[in-house]
Structure 1
């Protein structure tokens, strides 16, 4: 047969895609139309609201306070307190405590190394604050002392002093050197514990080859407490002590004597300011008097070498209490006798 030139011809692709719908023709892009009368609005921004922010902050603060309160309640609960107590008890147990000691035992311990055969000749000069007192006490008396003393050759003096100090250090005494003994001068040191107060002193002569007088003197804290009790009634009336932050010390026991006026009594008590555990003066006396009502009153301070100024006896009660005593005029320095007021 002859080919029919009127029939269409097909390619391989046409044959493979036979029976499938024809691919759609791409659409022409839609033209962009700008609506200048209705412009596109920007996205709204978040507005700041003070009230809302305050509410948020208040909520945060409230939650924080509640959390702190819960922590405090937990920390202060009995269980936690017991834990802390147990912990502190354990720490105390691990800290070595000083064994109780007396002045007598202290001297006995030192006597192993120091063979002095005599007794101390000088009192302890250090002021000591007895338990429960607001003032210092100095005991000027030698008899209450417990000690050991004696001469030591100059060439062995340093070695002897060192052995005494080592024995005191072994018994856990705190040392404060007051005079270092350099250049052939005297040596003086305070040695203190809560229960015993001591001083060690080495007195040297001008002759460098002469013997050194060496002594250890001690007192129990209980002895200071006894002296402080005798000072307490007058110390409580001492105006400078109660009216300022300055520290004061009293020396010995009050010295009393009857007034020349019936029913009155005088008392004097050496007093000094205390700085760095040292009495700053040694000639100041605090004066007190007792009236017929048995009450004590503080009068004034005076120098132990001078009488009180006449101008200070400015009340009938003082003139009565100190009648016929001698006073001193400020302007002239002349001595006068205090005249009691006339009885009505």
Structure 2
């Protein structure tokens, strides 16, 4: 009977799963061929009663492969699928500065105020066709904010434009100050919609001098400062994009360029979006200059956007039927040039 039982146990071991199919840890007892006896126990004699054959509900032989987990052992888990590390972006060496670049002036409002420009109505924009092409940029400061000279010069206009038009009509800028800057080509800076004027015609001013206080006079839909640059003549038709003259805010740069057709024709009011690739960033968008008063600034640009945090960007123009893209590294403290050719 013992021989029959031994043969049955060997048959169970031979029919068990191979070693590679072990699900849980194999206990040390698996190498034993019989359960250990308590210390001091006698070896069973031949006359001892025969051990009854195990029933089908008996636990498996210790020589079989264990497939059940020991008590208090957590079920093995499938290791997580390895994910590829995010790509790294190493900026190439910056290209040479753009010929004609002149980021010269501080912001015309105090450090404690809203120093960034309004992105909903930038230079050259019509705000989606709702307004005339913009010939300056806006600082959305509250009424009564000091307005500062950005460079030394001489005041050539101070007061209001109720009698003499400095724009497309009288009472357009309301209370304004115009300063002709020292040196170089004739350059004029206009500060419009003031609530109060603090200087007089003929007065010389230095950078940082207070010219007046911001307001909402003239054609204005609320308190702000209209800031305008004119080159060559003190005339509404001689404006340039102020974003190409103001020093960028810390850690930001200016993106400027051209949106053209395959034949090189400038495209007006094309929507331009900058999507940062290497890190999260705020939504940044603008449009190319509208047809009319806006002028390029000697670098043949037809759009510019400021306050762009340095990094790697995709520049996108979507004409409603096709999407045109190119890539651009933005370096802080400078103009970053890009050109997009938009087909039919």
Give 1 or 2 for the bigger CA radius of gyration.
1
User: Which has the larger share of helix?
Assistant: 1
So what's the TM-score if we normalise by structure 1?
0.24
Pick the structure with more strand per residue. Answer: 2
